[in-house]
Amino acid sequence: MTVETPKPVEQLERVVIRFAGDSGDGMQLTGDRFTQETAVFGNDLSTLPSFPAEIRAPAGTIPGVSSFQLHFASRDILTPGDHPHVLVAMNPAALRANVADLRPGATIIVDTHDFTARNLAKAGYDANPLDDGSLDDFTVHAIDLTGIAVAATSEFGLSRKDAARSKNMLALGLLSWMYGRPVEGTLSHLASKFAGRPSVRDANIAALRAGWNFGETTEAFAVRYEVEPAAAAPGRYRNVTGNTALSYGILAAGDRSGLPVFLGAYPITPASDVLHELSRHKGLGVTTFQAEDEIAGIGAALGAAYAGVLGVTITSGPGIALKSEAIGLAVMLELPLVVVDVQRGGPSTGLPTKTEQADLLQAMYGRNGEAPLPIVAPRSPGDCFDAALEAARIAITYRTPVMLLSDGYLANGSEPWRIPEIAALPRIEPAFATGPNRRVVEKDGSLSDVFWPYLRDESTLARPWAPPGVAGLEHRIGGIEKAGHAENGTGDISYDPANHDRMVRLRQAKVDAVAESVAGVEVDDPSGRARLLMVGWGSTYGPIGAGVRRVRDLGHDVAQVHLRHLNPFPTNLGEVLRRYDKVLVPEMNLGQLSLLLRAKYLVDAQPLTSVRGMPFGAEEMERLILDALADLGERPHRSTTLAHVRRLDLQEAGK
């Protein structure tokens, strides 16, 4: 397939496409392939898969709709986009569930095959929306995609049902033609995915080609669109999801520390993909243990850490609650452990496939007793790599469990990622104990060299890591309070009140000391005149950044800070917060970070909260920032805002 075509080509700066269909229609695969094609083409991109928690909700119903949204552009972008310019709807339910997100002027491509009276009723339509004028604001292409797919694959001897399943590839072919996407990667993907089923492979490839050719030949599509590649820093790139990047970060931490990786985990959405990914890399010395429950997952990881390897456990939502006691033990034992929480909607089972940031306070405080631990969070899918590496660095250096707070949006979303050179990454030094570390006076007055498992490093306050196998370092550790300080580092059980007070403060001081190894927060305040500061953490980076850009484009000053380290906070954070007249904290919870900031710094940090299971939209963020600026007396106000938004939309829709 070549890009040669006689049809006119229009240039666009950015496009948002949403593929929507029934759970069984292959929309995630379609979106993923279009994303890969777009990544290879060189656009910047951001994705938002959305699927039901049920594997197959009743076919044709609204709860069964699965979608994949992709935003790609010739410049760098930060979010998956607020309003699709193109909606591909494979059935009535997919249309009904998604049409409200479209702005007038958007394009809808509908597979008419399932627009039967029965399916319309299942989706809750009284009348066929394709005939009743309700879609008049949009450019609608009503096409029997299934029919074309069946016809295009007739020579391969598939059942009608199997032939119809290739309709998603037909849609992909059509969209690939419309936006000039290279399909070679998809062809080889299909060839390997269906290597064992040649007729299915050939049918899918034929459907893909038929979709492309349909776009090229039919008069319904008068123009093609072109989105130029985005400028990017030199380097080699690929597209990654957050869970993949996080897995690679763990592998890299194993490589840079020289430690084998041991993952103990129990399957849970949306963290399971990390278990799957790491299980593929046993060849790199990775052991993955699918435990009987969440508790055994972290228990085995902690046991492995005691034995001297890089212990990792992953979970989500309710899983972190189950692991709490073992995390407390890890705090007490002072052993390195990386605890990954891919946050999802809560409480309880909550919204397993949707995103949220509501586990921050649980990560901070969700254990009995004073049990502090460092917390880090990635800001984008690709950043999950760096965040995992940083979590492991802190865990190994400070002999402590570290919580890595990803979320469902980061986990399943994807973006282009500059591939790091692993060998150039900093080393992490396990610095195992090798011999006695203390000279003591015995009862008979003689001197002897002994090993104190809780004799701390003076700067990091970390204790020695002494895995079994070294003679002379035999020691016992446990969850009971112990003597573990400079005067008595034996780790022996101690119920002494003063010792307990000292140990509680020492464990806190050790976690606080992590800040010494972390750079101060960077403030993005280009003019230096901003009075409003936006503070975020985790996956809100994209929406906050997009909102800040939009507001700056309107001529306003607004500053942005995004936190990688949630505990301890960077040392300059308080000073930065106090510099601004107004501090806003957008969060997908009811104000957990803002609570911590207010408590620690006595600043009037105000939460902007949203708990819809979806990330903030860029437009929504823009409006929130403009409202805040208006409160500070900055103009223009909302009326101008809405006009501006409308103008942007028209530009984006290519009108």
Partner 1 sequence: MSTTGLPFPGLRSGVELVPTTDQPQTGKDFTSDQEVRWCPGCGDYAVLKAVQGFLPDLGLRRENIVFVSGIGCSSRFPYYLDTYGMHSIHGRAPSIATGIATAREDLSVWVVTGDGDALSIGGNHLIHALRRNVNMTILLFNNRIYGLTKGQYSPTSETGKITKSTPMGSLDHPFNPVSLALGAEATFVARTIDSDRKHLTTVLSAAAAHRGTSLVEIYQNCPIFNDGAFDAIKDNDTKADAIIPLVHGEPIVFGNGAKGLVRDSETGGVKIVAVADVGDDAILVHDAHNPDPTTAFAISRLTDAGYLNQSPIGIFRQVERPTYDDQAREQVRVARGSAPGLQAVVDGGGDVWTVDS
Among 76, 144, 226, 492, binds partner 1 (CB under 8 A): 492
How far is 118 from 288, CA to CA, in rounded Å? 47
Among 28, 30, 36, 400, binds partner 1 (CB under 8 A): 36
**Token pair listed for 232:** 């990017």
Among 52, 180, 303, 350, binds partner 1 (CB under 8 A): 303
Least distance to partner 1, CB of residue 641, Å: 35
Residue 180, interface with partner 1 (CB under 8 A)?
no
Residue 237, interface with partner 1 (CB under 8 A)?
yes
How far is 264 from 267, CA to CA, in rounded Å? 10
Among 193, 475, 552, 644, binds partner 1 (CB under 8 A): 475
Q: How far is CA 173 from the centre of its chain?
A: 28
Nearer to partner 1, 179 or 306 (CB): 306
Going residue by residue from 267 to 286, which x/- string records binding to partner 1, judged by CB under 8 A? --------------xxxxxx
Nearer to partner 1, 96 or 256 (CB): 256
Long-range (24+ apart) CB contacts under 8 A made by 571-579 are 571/515, 571/516, 571/518, 571/520, 572/520, 572/521, 573/520, 573/521, 573/597, 573/601, 574/600, 574/601, 574/603, 576/520, 576/521, 576/523, 576/533, 577/533, 577/535, 577/601, 577/603, 577/605, 578/603, 579/533
Nearer to partner 1, 468 or 526 (CB): 468
Residue 419, interface with partner 1 (CB under 8 A)?
yes
Q: What is the footprint of partner 1 within residues 40-79 (CB under 8 A)? A: 40, 42
Among 55, 195, 423, 447, binds partner 1 (CB under 8 A): 423
Among 265, 291, 551, 618, binds partner 1 (CB under 8 A): 291
Residue 251, interface with partner 1 (CB under 8 A)?
yes
**Token pair listed for 495:** 């119920």
Least distance to partner 1, CB of residue 383, Å: 15
Among 4, 126, 219, 421, binds partner 1 (CB under 8 A): 421
Nearer to partner 1, 289 or 580 (CB): 289
Give the total of residues touching partner 1 (CB under 8 A): 74
How far is 73 from 47, CA to CA, in rounded Å? 12
Nearer to partner 1, 127 or 493 (CB): 493
Buried b vs exposed e over 607-620: b needs ≥16 C-beta within 10 Å? bbbbbebbbbbbbb
Among 321, 322, 470, 645, binds partner 1 (CB under 8 A): 470
Place of tokens 């993923």: 32
Least distance to partner 1, CB of residue 159, Å: 31
Residue 468, interface with partner 1 (CB under 8 A)?
yes
Residue 447: count of CB within 10 angstroms of its CB: 8
How far is 173 from 168, CA to CA, in rounded Å? 9
* Residues 514, 568 contacting (CB under 8 angstroms): yes
Q: What is the footprint of partner 1 within residues 304-343 (CB under 8 A)? A: 304-309, 311, 325-326, 328-329, 333
Among 112, 199, 287, 437, binds partner 1 (CB under 8 A): 287
How far is 16 from 78, CA to CA, in rounded Å? 13
